[in-house]
Amino acid sequence: MTIELSELVEQIDSRKDELIDLLKKLIEFKTPAPPARNTKEAQTFIANFLQEKGFIIDMWDVYPNDPNVVGVLNGKEEHAYKSLIINGHIDVAEVGKDENWDVDPFIPIVKNGAVIGRGAADMKGGLAGALFAIQLLHEAGIDLPGSLLFQSVIGEEVGEAGTLECCKRGYKADFAVVVDTSDLHIQGQGGVITGWITVKSDQTFHDATRRQMIHAGGKLFGASAIEKMMVIINGLQELERHWAVTKSYQGFLPGTNTINPAVIEGGRHAAFIADECRLWITVHYYPNETHEQIIEEIEEHIRHVANADPWLRKNPPIFEWGGKSMIVDRGEIFPSLEVDPNELGVKQLASAHREVIQEEVIIDVSPSVTDGGWLGEAGIPTAIYGPGNLQNAHAVNEQVSIGQLVSYTKVILMFIYNWCNTKRL
């Protein structure tokens, strides 16, 4: 570590009150999703912060009043040195009316060595630490030879994939760090996809015809879509058990790859046989699988289940997968992300952690999901690394340890400096 970098890292201890104030400022912006459509003020603050540090700002609405912000600090020798994306989401989990917080969730306080407030752990702590690291580099007059991109995105809490919109806009780098909640572990993740399965009759029958459908001699080829959905659910449970037996991934407990029948909607009135039923499922899959692969496996299995049932064979289930928003179209995708410990970016991040924390970093998998999968799917080597733990994410009295926040800020500062000073081969 150079003397200049060492001095910057040491400054974080003496200036931690500034770091805490920055985090508190971010928490004060009320950005819960749902309801969403409330991030413009916070994103404008981040855009102005970055612009003052020499970044070129790209700010555009993903949804009304929910803009993405991408700041680009072009390296002085960008073609010869590695580029880096720092990515995080500005939205936070919703606060329920009945949640018994000790304080107002959006008026943060410091207590018992932690900052308490909605988003402290998930994940405004990660944003604040990275922004403070950028501030210190700027104040020191350090011109990074490699380019640095800072992405503050919307919609992660409700599957609106602000990060995907950054990828579609063409933002790339040699490595990316998603500074989301990881308890200072370097993490990959499994994936999540939601889907709707619909069972629908081409005819509608009066309730009084039910006997003709279910008893001998009735001669009416009809069925309740709700009851036929039970056949589909049983088939999904069979596949879920099969996956638990035949699939595994290091770091995940057996059977973590689940198919959750989350919501069911069906029927129109008590005087009718249900002519339509819709099932909303959430599927968790492993880091070495893709959502396209999972869709194919589920559809193939359920088609076999349907073909074994006389009515479903004539009225096969209809599948709809994913979506752009849990708010708008009731669907989401979080692609999986594998982390290669031998990837140069991972090695350098682990080295920075080791130098600051004086311990080897834990490289594992998150039991939750982040936007990291979108960056990985765009071909950018990516890792999740941030302060805070999942026990506090979304929790009442959400908080992040100040000690961990300081350590994280030191690590991310050192990593930004070292990575953007790494020559391309």
pLDDT for 239 equals: 98
Q: What is the pTM of this model?
A: 0.94
pLDDT for 290 equals: 97
89-to-31, 32, 158, 203, 359 alpha-carbon distances in Å: 10, 11, 11, 47, 28
Which two structure tokens, joined as six digits, stand for 56?
A: 């070129």
> 156, 160, 183, 332: which one is catalytic?
156
Query: Are the beta carbons of 264 and 236 closer than 8 angstroms?
Result: no
Query: May I ask the CATH architecture of the domain 191-321?
Result: 2-Layer Sandwich (3.30)
* Domain layout of the chain by residue ranges: 3-189+337-419, 191-321
117-to-25, 113, 332 alpha-carbon distances in Å: 11, 13, 27
Q: Is 78 a residue of the active site?
A: no
H-run or E-run covering 400: strand 399-401
The pairing of strands 318-321 and 191-200 is: antiparallel
pLDDT for 3 equals: 65
Q: Where are the alpha helices (DSSP H) in 140-224?
A: 162-168, 210-214
Mapped onto helix, strand or coil, the DSSP state of residue 135 is helix
Radius of gyration (Cα) for the chain, nearest Å? 25
Query: Are the beta carbons of 127 and 90 closer than 8 angstroms?
Result: yes
**Over its length of 425 residues, how does the chain's per-residue pLDDT go in tens digits?**
566 899 999 999 999 999 999 999 999 999 999 999 999 999 999 999 999 999 999 999 999 999 999 999 999 999 999 999 999 999 999 999 999 999 999 999 999 999 999 999 999 999 999 999 999 999 999 999 999 999 999 999 999 989 999 999 999 999 999 999 999 999 999 999 999 999 999 999 999 899 999 998 988 889 999 999 999 999 999 999 999 999 999 999 999 999 999 999 999 999 999 999 999 999 999 999 999 999 999 999 999 999 999 999 999 999 999 999 999 999 999 999 999 999 999 999 999 999 999 999 999 999 999 999 999 999 999 999 999 999 999 999 999 999 999 999 999 999 999 999 999 98
Which two structure tokens, joined as six digits, stand for 20?
A: 């805490």
Residues 6+ apart with CB under 8 A from 164: 371, 374
292-to-9, 104, 301, 352 alpha-carbon distances in Å: 44, 42, 14, 36
Q: Which residues of 52-87 are buried (b: 16+ CB within 10 A; e: fewer)?
A: ebebebbbeebbeebbbbbbbbebebbeebbbbbbb
pLDDT for 425 equals: 86
Q: Is 156 a residue of the active site?
A: yes
Q: Strand order in 114-116's β-sheet?
A: 109-111, 114-116, 399-401
- Does the fold of domain 191-321 match that of domain 3-189+337-419? no
165-to-22, 159, 374, 385 alpha-carbon distances in Å: 27, 12, 9, 21
pLDDT for 2 equals: 67
pLDDT for 4 equals: 86
* Angle, vertex CA 369, rays to CA 365 and CA 373, nearest 5: 85
Q: The domain 3-189+337-419: what is its CATH number?
A: 3.40.630.10
Query: Are the beta carbons of 39 and 15 closer than 8 angstroms?
Result: no
> 28, 66, 78, 91: which one is catalytic?
91
